[in-house]
Amino acid sequence: MAGTDASLFCHESLLHTYVREAFKLENGMINLILRHIAEKGESLTLQITRCAWVNEDPLYIAYHDEEWGKPLYDDRKLFELLMLEGMQAGLSWYTVLKKREHFREAFDGFDPEKIVLYDEAKIEALMQDTGIIRNRLKIQAVIHNAAVFQEISREAGGFAKYLWSFTGGKPVINEWATRSEVPATSPQSDQMNKALKKKGMKFVGSTICYAFMQASGMVDDHTTDCFCHSSKRGSDI
């Protein structure tokens, strides 16, 4: 979304980055400027170009600006993200994102140690929970996948270590000019799909794996005009 008013949507951390990069100022001077703006009630308007898929919802904007495409290395957070990508199958990520906080409450913070203990009574309770996507197969898959997560973590020395191995341990930086150029799968997502399926995981098709890789920062698929692309964020990515 081109030309977004930063006084409405840009968080202070992003303003900090912009001021630093635009004026090559030290952090102390930047903080002084931002404090002055806050005290005077003034607004700082910046024209920001984002990926074309971002809508006008501040929730979606914050997700794009602060999460999507930023490298993620935490085992549990990666498990949560992969499970939510599976929940997205046949739907949109925006639908899942709006329900994410409730998903976290319903699934005990996506703690695999707790999820593996879910019984039929818990499944039935989840099926009655209107705050999540009530698909029995997907719910059962999360429970099943929690056990696979534990197995992979033991064998590979960590879930993050295992998943990041598909990109050689570092982000793949793509250079797409437009949204239409961005693929739905890649050789790496095909490999991840096959490996996870062999381990026994469910709802981990190549398209789901690629969306997961994009979201977790294993792949940078921000278009090159987006202010979040690695070429524009430098060390912040």
Angle, in degrees to the nearest 10, between helices 75-88 and 206-215:
130
Token digits of residue 231: 């070429």
Is 63 annotated as catalytic? yes
Annotated binding site for Zn(2+): 51, 64, 222, 226
Residue from 18, 63, 73, 94 carrying the catalytic annotation: 63
The closest alpha carbon to 166, from 181, 156, 151, 180, belongs to 156
CB within 8 Å of 180: residues ≥ 6 apart: none
Token digits of residue 41: 């009630």
Q: Is 108:139 a contact under the CB 8 Å cutoff? A: no
Residue from 60, 68, 93, 164 carrying the catalytic annotation: 93
Is 18 annotated as catalytic? no
Is residue 110 left, alpha or beta, with left meaning phi > 0 and alpha meaning psi from -120 to 50? left
Residue from 60, 80, 85, 210 carrying the catalytic annotation: 85
Active-site residue list: 63, 85, 93
